[in-house]
Structure 1
Amino acid sequence: MNRNLFFLWQGQVISQLGMQAYTIAMMFWIMESSGSSAAMSVIFALSTLPQIIFGPIAGVIADRHANRKIIIWCDLIRGSTVLVMAAVLFSDLFSTAQVVIFFAVTACINGGCKAFFQPAIDAWIPDLTTREKLPQVMATFGSTTQATMVLGQASRGILFTLLGAPLLLLVDAVSYFLSALSECFIKQKTQDNSDRAIAITASFKSYKDDLLTGWRYLAGTSGMVPAALFVASINFFIAPVMLLLPFYVANQISAGAEWYGFLLAALALGSIIGYSHSNHLKQVLKKRSSLMLVSLHCFAFSLFIFSQSHHVYLSSFSFFTAGILPGFV
């Protein structure tokens, strides 16, 4: 890994850790202060909406503009918004409803930054390494992201218990600023951005053409659309589980915030194992459709056991198993 890749990798790791801290602080503060799952669902929707809106064009923009600036600005904006959020909680001047509104605005801004951040990372990596080393570098970044999720989720639950939401958000904000600082040391060749010389109408047409080309490729490639709908349906039906998880931890298994982090870490660790062993299992079962069908039924059974459990260790094991099976899918 060369110098530029190291700074990019380091910034991504720090940023990922910060993201886990914000999610846990936000969810448990809302649960403890308002007890409203509806407020939490609205905030999650607001954090996802910008990614739905900007997701299709984010990749196009990342391909055509300086990725370094996009990534640094995303980290700076996220760090600033979370810092304001920490100040709001520290001040204790606002009502619960007002703080929830602040969380909603922060979630919306951070969701917009996230929509541009990851495509910019993915588009930049090939420019920072050779074609021969690209698969290894992509694998390193992918595995690091998963490992960081496990570490971040496990540790942030403990930190929330020890520090509370305001201090944890302050740590989160600092992590984003450190990530931006790390990315400032990456050297990127100056690119001749031809878009600046094109009229606004022509520039818009260029973006639109690139976007339509991507959609045509998706629609014209056999199996792509059903696969996308299949994955989307799984995400749609699993969303309520993640939304209600803090209430499950507090009310059903009578545990603290640290166990919320442990459960998410178990899910992420299971996912890593599922991904890493899926190719071997596919060769054993021969047919992908059989593997997917068996995995989905076992996944549903694991979630059923999880829903009935009142013990932290059984909940952890069933959630860990539930993480493995979508990895196969």
Structure 2
Amino acid sequence: MAKSFRTTKKGCLALNSNHSSVLRNRSFLRLWIARIFSASAFQILSVAIGWQMYALTDSPLQLGFVGLAQFLPMLLLTLPAGQTADRYDRRTIVYLCQLIESAVVVLLIIGSVQGWMSSVHLLIAAAILGACRTFEGPASAALVPDIVDREQLPKASAWSASAMQTAMILGPSLGGVLVIWGISAAYITTLAALLLSVSLIFFVKTVHFVKKLDSMSMDTFFSGLRFVFARKIILGTISLDLFAVLLGGATALLPIFAEDILKTGSLGLGLLRSAPAVGAIIVSLILTRFSIERAIGKWLFASLVVFGLATILFGVSHSIWLSLVALFLTGASDVVSVVIRSTLVQVNTPQDMQGRVNAVNSLFIGTSNQLGEFESGSMAQLAGAVPATVIGGIGTLAVAVIWMYGLFPVLRNQKKYAVEEG
């Protein structure tokens, strides 16, 4: 059984030793590397499918349909995906999803080489990939507590965040280079990355026994939602991400800033898109060495305030260098929040509920990203890109204040990663 976070002095020394050895856990190391490969592959696929769709149709609307085709399966299948992750072996779910994704990529390669690939085929491929990612995400996230000790979760969360940010940097940039060499080159590279991930997942071993759902029913279907809404810490944590990203994200407006405000063109756009991910990966690597374990509520809201202020700074900046610093700070502060929130969710969720709760978390995150882009675009259409970004940053600060002092003071007062009583 995992040790409690309330340990003796001797136990604290053991805790530090456990933290330093999280990558010595071979199963976690394999899962971590597999996540880099699989997430990078998905990023490359998004670039390649979008590129091929535009080449076939010359229609921005069709590009929007690609994103919609990926989002709708998540919206429809998230709750069943959570049930599945708690009913069946999570490693097997991840393994099978990546095998299906590999099969889809094989068909994309064949269709592209033989010349019969159409916009309809691309939309079907995007929908299948979106469905696979919907089932893979909760199972992969819930797999972490199955293979590491409870005391190692903060470090494991930081390493997991670094894997995702590495993919966010490598995937889009590599995808952009590969499509220059040909769409088949992008798909073949994706297939290789997915197969490497599959081989690594195959050798992941779970060490903690998890009681599985005996059956899948309407009661268990909504049990994840009920569990989240019954616990202030989890509900506050997940909803904080939803509204902070919904209001404060400026990613969708970066092309406008690069072209019309900063006058830097495509090169500047590439730098602007990379800056948050660079900040995130640097801080996530720091957190793998020096994890935040005390006054975590204060750290959580401090990071959110920095995120809001940096968003406002980016909005008013007319210097590419100042803008890059501001975006770097948004990524750096966001990953602090991500690590704290994900660890709080995992610590406060029983292992047999991890799949369903992580599915709800994925739904909130996916919704915030999709609606956040819509909110930013709509606000920019009404008020302009600069006011929209500044208003978004102010909105993030307002959310921080409301959550701290109004809706979820329990989060502000959280001193360490402990299970919510009651």
The two structures have a TM-score, normalised by structure 2, of 0.59
Q: After superposition, give the CA deviation of every residue in 1:66-103 in whole Å (9 maximum; x if it has no partner).
A: 11211111101111112212222222335xxx23x222
1:303 and 1:55, CA in 2 relative to 1: closer, same or farther beyond 3 A?
Answer: farther
Aligned to 1:184: 202
Structure 1 residue aligned with 2:277: 268
Match of 1:232 in 2: 242
Secondary structure at 2:116 match in 1: coil
- Provide closer, same or farther for how the CA distance between residues 230 and 187 of structure 1 changes in structure 2, counting only shifts above 3 A: closer
Within 5 Å, give how 1:219-298 maps onto structure 2. 219-222=229-232, 225=235, 228-229=238-239, 231-236=241-246, 241-242=251-252, 253-255=264-266, 262-272=271-281, 292=304, 295-298=307-310
User: Are 2:306 and 2:330, in contact at CA under 8 Å, matched by a contact in 1?
Assistant: no
Residue 33 of structure 2 is matched in structure 1 by 10
Asked if the contact 2:81–2:134 (Cα under 8 Å) also holds between the matched residues in 1, the reply is yes
1:52 to 71, 75, 90: 75
Pair 227,318 (structure 1): closer, same or farther in 2 beyond 3 Å? same
Q: Which amino acid aligns with 2:116?
A: L
Query: Aligned to 2:179, which of 149, 160, 163?
Result: 160
Unmatched 5+ stretches in structure 2 = 1-23, 338-422
Percent identity between matched residues is: 23
2-structure distance, mates of 1:115, 1:105 = 15
| Separation (CA, whole Å) in 2 of partners of 1:233 and 1:15 | 28
1:79 aligns with 2:87: no
Aligned to 2:311: 299
Aligned residues: 306
CA contact (8 A) 2:169 2:274 kept: yes
Give RMSD over aligned pairs: 4.0
- The equivalent residue for 2:87 is 64
Alignment of 1:176-215 (within 5 A): 176-187=194-205, 203-205=215-217, 208-215=218-225
CA distance in 2, matches of 1:247, 1:160: 24
> What's the CA shift string for 1:39-81, capped at 9, x where partnerless?
1222112211222222233233212211121111110111111
Q: In the alignment, what sits opposite 2:407?
A: none
Question: Please, which runs of 5 or more residues in structure 1 have no aligned partner?
Answer: none
One-letter code of the match for 1:76? L
Aligned residue identity for 1:130: D
- Contact 1:46–1:111, Cα closer than 8 Å, also in 2: yes
Q: TM-score, normalised by structure 1?
A: 0.73
- Conservation of the 8 A alpha-carbon contact between 2:311 and 2:326: no
Contact 2:36 2:166 in 1 (8 A): no
Letter in 1 for 2:308: L
Q: Distance in 1 between matches of 2:303 and 2:146?
A: 36
- Equivalent residue letter for 1:68: R
- What is the aligned partner in structure 2 of residue 173 from structure 1? 191
Does 11-20 or 149-158 show the bigger shift?
149-158
Query: Are the aligned partners of 1:295 and 1:328 in contact in 2 as well (CA < 8 Å)?
Result: no
Measured at CA, do residues 192 and 7 of structure 1 come closer, stay the same or move farther in structure 2, by a change above 3 Å?
closer
**1:254: Cα distance to partner?**
4.1
